[in-house]
Amino acid sequence: MHEVLEALRELIGAGDDELDSLQMALRALIIYITAILLVRLGQKRFMGKNTAFDVILGIILGSVLSRGITGNAPLIPTVTAGAVLVALHWLFSVMSFYWYPFSSVVKGQERLLIKDGEIQWDNMRRSHVGKHDLEMAIRNTSRAANFEDVAEAHFERSGDISVIPREREKKLRVIDVAVRNGVQNVRIELVEGS
């Protein structure tokens, strides 16, 4: 068994000052497979477009694991550190699910930017969102033409702006068409604003 471990250490360059191409390639393979397993265990949440909390894990995990490939850090402790990071992320996610105050600290809070067509300037300043950013979000995410057409707009924890357009009043317009010489009248009802 000791001989097998020693051969494996030689293959991956454990303790070497300088890694050759084969050793670095094997380390890359090990780290790649480990990263896939860690992402699967972390349920891929941090790889999607979520909060800064999720993005930070992706950056740190990539940085830590890359050191194991290049030999700047020992391989097994590097993999262990990656596993600890994913476990902490999972634990913080569970705590955030059950305890909103913790979630607010870790993930931030959403802010109301428009309420019934009125811009909420205090929340705009707190969110560092300019009027032009808000106009762009309205154009890109809804059928609203301007602020007055928006029921609510929120600055989400992910950094996105979500827009809920106002329900438009539907106007009923009735047109009576009369045909002469004994032919029946036709009534047409048009609904505007839908």
For 11-60, write each residue's pLDDT tens digit: 777 765 677 888 888 888 888 888 888 777 765 555 555 677 778 888 88
Topology of domain 109-194, per CATH? Answer: CRO Repressor (3.30.240)
Rounded to an integer, the average pLDDT of 132-156 is 86
Domain boundaries, the chain: 2-104, 109-194
- pTM attached to this predicted model: 0.64
Closest listed residue to residue 89, CA positions, set 133, 51, 127, 54 = 54
In the chain, the percentage of residues whose pLDDT exceeds 70 is: 82
